[in-house]
Structure 1
Amino acid sequence: MSAFLAALVPVMLLVALGRFLGWRNVLSDDGWRAVERLAYVLLLPALIIRALARAPFETAPWRLALILIGAQCLLGLVGLLARAWPGMTRPAVGSIIQSNVRWNTFVALSIGSALFGEEGLALVSIAAAAMIPTANILSVTALTAHAERETGARRNPVAELIRNPLIIACAIGGALAALNLTIPPMIDDTLALLGQGTIALGLLAAGAGMDVSALGRAGVRTVTWSLVRLLGMPALTIAGALALGLTGTPFAVAVISASTSTATSSYILARQLGGDAPLAANLIAMQTVLSIVTMPAIWFACLSAGLF
Structure 2
Amino acid sequence: MDNPQTMFIQVFTVTGPVFAMVVLGIVLKRLRLIDEHFMSVASNLSFKALMPTLLFFGILRTDLSMALQPALIGYFYLATVLSFAWAWLWSLKHVPYAERGIYVQGAFRGNCGIVGLALAASQYGDYGLSVGGVLAGLIIVLFNVLSIIVLAFYSPHFDADLKSVMKGLAKNPLILSVLAGLLASWMNVQLPQWILISADYFSAMTLPLALICVGGSLSMAAFIHSGKIALSSSLFKVLWTPIAFTLLAALIGFEGRDLGMLFLFLASPTAAASYVMARSAGSDGRLAANIIAISTVISVVSIMLGLYGLQVVGLI
Which residue number corresponds to residue 85 of structure 1?
Answer: 94
DSSP 3-state at the match of 2:260: helix
Where does the alignment leave 5 or more consecutive residues of structure 2 unmatched?
1-7
Letter in 2 for 1:103: G
Q: Which one of the candidate residues 255, 269, 289 is aligned to 1:261?
A: 269
Which residue number corresponds to residue 36 of structure 1?
Answer: 43
Which residue number corresponds to residue 153 of structure 2?
Answer: 145
Alpha-carbon distance between aligned partners in 1 of 2:248 and 2:74, rounded to the nearest angstrom: 9
Q: Indicate the percent of aligned positions where both proteins have the same amino acid.
A: 24
Equivalent positions of 1:69-80 (< 5 A) are 69-80=77-88
Which residue number corresponds to residue 242 of structure 1?
Answer: 250
Contact 1:19 1:208 in 2 (8 A): yes
Instruction: Name the CA shift for 1:157/1:151 in 2 (closer, same or farther; >3 Å).
Output: closer
Alpha-carbon distance between aligned partners in 2 of 1:196 and 1:6, rounded to the nearest angstrom: 19
TM-score, normalised to structure 2, is 0.90
Which residue number corresponds to residue 53 of structure 2?
Answer: 46
Which residue number corresponds to residue 58 of structure 1?
Answer: 65
| Aligned-residue CA RMSD (Å) | 1.9
Superposition deviation, residue 265 in structure 1: 2.3
Q: Which of 258-267 and 166-175 deviates more?
A: 258-267
- What per-residue deviation string (whole Å, max 9, x for no partner) do you get for residues 30-74 of structure 1? 221111110011000000001111222124422111111111111
DSSP 3-state at the match of 1:245: coil
Which residue number corresponds to residue 131 of structure 1?
Answer: 139
Contact 2:26 2:218 in 1 (8 A): yes
Letter in 2 for 1:46: T
- What per-residue deviation string (whole Å, max 9, x for no partner) do you get for residues 56-103 of structure 1? 2124422111111111111111121212115x133x211122112222
Matched length: 305
Contact 1:5 1:296 in 2 (8 A): yes
Which residue number corresponds to residue 15 of structure 1?
Answer: 22
Contact 1:63 1:246 in 2 (8 A): no
Alpha-carbon distance between aligned partners in 2 of 1:96 and 1:194, rounded to the nearest angstrom: 36
Matched, 1:202 2:210: yes
Superposition deviation, residue 220 in structure 1: 2.1
Which residue number corresponds to residue 283 of structure 1?
Answer: 291
Q: Which one of the candidate residues 211, 219, 223 is aligned to 1:215?
A: 223
Superposition deviation, residue 240 in structure 1: 4.7
Letter in 1 for 2:147: S
Contact 1:112 1:253 in 2 (8 A): yes
Contact 2:237 2:268 in 1 (8 A): no
Letter in 2 for 1:194: F
Alpha-carbon distance between aligned partners in 2 of 1:286 and 1:58, rounded to the nearest angstrom: 37
Which residue number corresponds to residue 307 of structure 1?
Answer: 315
Deviating 4+ runs (over 4 angstroms): 151-155
Q: Which of 226-235 and 70-79 deviates more?
A: 226-235
Alpha-carbon distance between aligned partners in 1 of 2:138 and 2:249, rounded to the nearest angstrom: 15
Equivalent positions of 1:135-174 (< 5 A) are 135-148=143-156, 150-151=157-158, 156-174=164-182
Which residue number corresponds to residue 103 of structure 2?
Answer: 96
Which residue number corresponds to residue 5 of structure 2?
Answer: none
Alpha-carbon distance between aligned partners in 2 of 1:110 and 1:263, rounded to the nearest angstrom: 14
Contact 1:230 1:259 in 2 (8 A): yes
Alpha-carbon distance between aligned partners in 2 of 1:184 and 1:244, rounded to the nearest angstrom: 43
Contact 1:123 1:250 in 2 (8 A): no
Contact 2:138 2:175 in 1 (8 A): no
Alpha-carbon distance between aligned partners in 2 of 1:130 and 1:96, rounded to the nearest angstrom: 23
